[in-house]
Chains A and B, each alone.
Chain A
């Protein structure tokens, strides 16, 4: 088993006033050659956007882009004609493929929105662009992992063009789980959303992360009440 520990305070920080962002991997003006990616997971941004502010219309191509609101609501518009509000408890996915334009704004004029922006390299270039968002009502059920993303349109959660799976869960103190990694070529990036965990013997607090690969499973234990975790299971190479 191989492991990499990324404490919360080792992330790149950028405060633009309207946007307070923490980058788990090199992004924009944050460049750390030791933190470029975890396998095909290229971007994990922890964003707080001021009321009424947001990312204006901008292009993407050939990237799988996942947004998960943690608090508040995002207003989405794109060049495929989609207009939507993505709420806390939902997940949004875009396959940029041949190219899309989109904007994401805080839908509130009074409250911040906090959300995760995740980019994964796709396993096919130049696919037809697509957009989806779904509610995740099962997240209210504690002490189990819930699949929120997979490679299959027929499986639970949203899907992307990559052999990647996301799971989220909220756990009572001392609850233990074993997560089985989906493929021998995959690794898991465990990112603590709230509370604290021990992951493969490493103590993790809020927004700390541990990447694990060359292993078949990951042992996880919640060490404080109501602890919440996101597991990103991705290929370590294309």
Chain B
């Protein structure tokens, strides 16, 4: 996922599987928290709480493989541009 998101884009991508590590990363500042496929509902809720505390936008990657990854983020960036 990191490779796909970094390819050809001016995006800085950090991946994490751990709650503590993610919390520290968000405290340092991030625009988007992208939740990958396969996370449990309780873990998703935790990510939302942590991101809310640091004003980070959460995007839940719907799944379906890498074909939609770039689109999901670009949709959010377009929304930012027009808001």
Binding site for B on A (CB under 8 A): 26-29, 31, 33, 36, 42-43, 58-63, 65, 96, 98-99, 119, 121
Contact = CB atoms under 8 A, between A and B. Distances in A.
Nearest to A45: B67
* Interface size bracket, B side: 10 to 19
Given A99-B63, A119-B67, A121-B62, 7 more contacts: A26-B71, A27-B71, A43-B67, A58-B65, A60-B65, A63-B63, A63-B64
Interface of B: 8, 37-38, 62-68, 70-71, 74-75, 78
Contacts of B38: 59, 61, 98-99
Contacts of B78: 33
B65 A27 contact: no
Q: Is the interface of A mostly helix, strand, loop or mixed?
A: loop
Contacts of B71: 26-28, 31, 36
A96 B64 contact: yes
A150 B30 CA distance: 43
8 shortest interchain CB distances as A-B pairs: A61-B63, A63-B64, A62-B63, A61-B37, A60-B65, A26-B71, A31-B74, A27-B67
B62 A63 contact: yes
Contacts of B65: 58-60, 63
A60 B63 CA distance: 6
Nearest to A99: B38
